Copies of this chain bind each other. A is one copy, B any other.
Amino acid sequence: MKKRILISDIAKALGISVTTVSFILNDKAKEKRISEALTKRVLDYVKKVGYKPNELAKSLRTGKTKILGLIIEDISNPFFGNIARLIESKVYEQGYRIIYCSTNNDVEKAKELIQMFYDRQVDGFIITPSDGLEDTVKQLQQSNIPVVLFDRYFPGLETDYVGADNFQGAFDATSHLCQQAYKRIGFVSLYSDQTQMKERSEGYLKAMDNNKQQSFIQKVQMDASDDEAMESLKDFICENRLDAVLFSTNYLAISGLKASKKYNFVMPAMIAFDDHTVFKLLEPSITVVSQPIKEIAENLINILLLRLQGKIKATRKMVLPCELKIRESTKAKVTL
């Protein structure tokens, strides 16, 4: 266990000052008019001894950590998991690192996590905000630390934001069900004020209105257990004799599928919001509204990096189109 080598060791070994070494290592050799000969000598030596600066000391001095905080709803949901992975590899190329945490939609936990990231002086945030997090986000903004929201936002707060066109996604999905001649189309959502949920509701309702159909809406408690969700979904689908259902999230759809298995009823035509491995494999495979995960991740990073570099002033809101992936679960209804 050998001792870490310091910048002062380099300076001493080469008989020059620490400052000079620091300038050279931070690509300020030209700017500070340090001779090429010396620059090369330092660089060679540094490489030879494998010197790596102490990132902590660096951060302490500069106030920059090159770490970004990613606060997401649930890392085990593949939608978020995939976004996290894409973000991770994107920022990696730019020399940034990610610390992530899942909130599981718990406001208090989210607040704590944000506080902790703030204490660790992350350079910026990407957040899927839970209900009730508006003030915290506002505080971050006031502290002048870049924040980009995704998946949902706060209507009353000017923030950078990247998300999918939830209205259009739900509208297209519902319209598709109408076209396929379904007559009793239900919508499953959550008790939540989050914008993405509201937009999906509105998309559903608008399409139903356009087609002059009666709407059926069931909301599930956000903290409901799997069993509770399954039971209420069974009741919703069976008692209303629905012939089609649009689920506003992939896990609600999965709860629905589990319910149909557990309570042994036939799942009607269905569409889920957000794709999932399950949906491609099932018999019949499930039609989904798929969010442009890659584009979302790319835009999140781009906006955050621009902000970190101070290159943008006005807030940016990006709304990206969803794609309806039509599979077997929404074949045209056979009228008896």
Contacts and interface: CB of A to CB of B under 8 A. Distances in A.
A74 to B, nearest CB: 8
B281 A258 contact: yes
A69 B290 CA distance: 33
A135 interface: no
A85 B103 CA distance: 11
B75 A84 contact: yes
Contacts of A120: 55-56, 97
Nearest to A99: B99
A82 interface: yes
A1 B142 CA distance: 6
Interface stretch (A5-13, A57-65, A198-206): A57-65
A116 interface: yes
A144 interface: yes
Contact of A278 (B84, B119, B142, B277): B277
A25 interface: no
Contacts of A54: 60, 121
Interface in A86-132: 88, 97-102, 116, 119-121
B60 A56 contact: yes
- Of A81, A101, A142, A258, the most chain B CB neighbours within 10 A belong to A81
How many copies altogether? Answer: 2
A281 B280 contact: no
B144 A1 contact: yes
A222 interface: no
Contact of A97 (B116, B121, B144, B261): B116
Contact of A60 (B60, B65, B76, B97): B60
B81 A76 contact: yes
Contact of A56 (B65, B142, B254, B277): B65
Contacts of A143: 1
A283 interface: yes
A125 to B, nearest CB: 15
A281 B278 contact: yes
Given A81-B81, A82-B76, A281-B261, A56 B88 contact: no
A69 to B, nearest CB: 11
A282 interface: yes
A70 to B, nearest CB: 10
A257 interface: yes
Which 8 residue pairs spanning A and B have beta carbons closest together? Answer: A76-B81, A56-B60, A278-B278, A1-B144, A99-B99, A55-B120, A55-B119, A56-B59
